């Protein structure tokens, strides 16, 4: 299986070999700096991208995504043409009243994560569970293909 096929779409890091051109290297470092800098701050868009881990054992692929505050009804998982799609929408509102102030915080947004799986995965065998805000999707590995030698016979 190709290593790149298990990298979630939209979360790929720059996997290309560094170039010797100093301007290209500078541009890559600036892009990395801004990408890393923005991670620690809240965004004002409605896009939410949950963190996801992918682990592989001898028998299964296990995808784990952080979905705090979501329930089963808020998450939709689809599998088609070798692609697993996890979609959902987060809606959260917190209101705090005190004598001198009132604070209302709202967090909401739709998300979608897409993972390409190897050929031969049986859609009926994929299982998913959501426990305490952690979604776990278990995908059994497809059976290994067996090579068979075919004998060539003389024409009759």
Does 11 score more than 60 pLDDT?
A: no
The arithmetic mean of pLDDT across residues 23-48, rounded, is 68
Please tell me the pTM assigned to this model. Answer: 0.57
Does 39 score more than 80 pLDDT?
A: no
pLDDT score, position 13: 47
Does 136 score more than 90 pLDDT?
A: yes
Does 70 score more than 90 pLDDT?
A: no
C-alpha to C-alpha distance for 60 and 48, rounded to whole angstroms: 27
Cα dihedral 12, 46, 136, 38, rounded to 10, equals: 40
**CATH 2.60.40.790 assigned to 4-140:** yes
CA 102 to chain CA centroid, Å, is 37
pLDDT in tens, 117-135: 888 888 899 999 999 989 9
């Amino acid at each position: 299986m190709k290593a790149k096929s298990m990298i979630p779409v939209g979360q790929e890091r720059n996997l290309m070999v560094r170039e010797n051109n100093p301007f290209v290297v500078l541009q890559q470092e600036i892009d990395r700096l801004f990408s890393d800098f923005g991670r620690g701050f809240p965004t004002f868009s409605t896009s939410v991208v949950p963190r996801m881990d992918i682990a592989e054992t001898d028998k299964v692929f296990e995808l784990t995504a952080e979905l705090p505050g979501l329930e089963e009804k808020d998450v939709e998982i689809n599998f088609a043409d070798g692609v697993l799609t996890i979609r959902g929408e987060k809606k959260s509102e917190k209101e705090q009243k005190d004598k001198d102030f009132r604070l209302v915080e709202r967090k909401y947004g739709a998300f979608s994560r897409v993972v390409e799986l190897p050929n031969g995965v049986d859609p009926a065998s994929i299982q998913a569970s959501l426990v305490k805000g952690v979604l776990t999707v278990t995908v059994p590995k497809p059976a290994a293909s067996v090579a068979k030698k075919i004998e060539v016979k003389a024409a009759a």
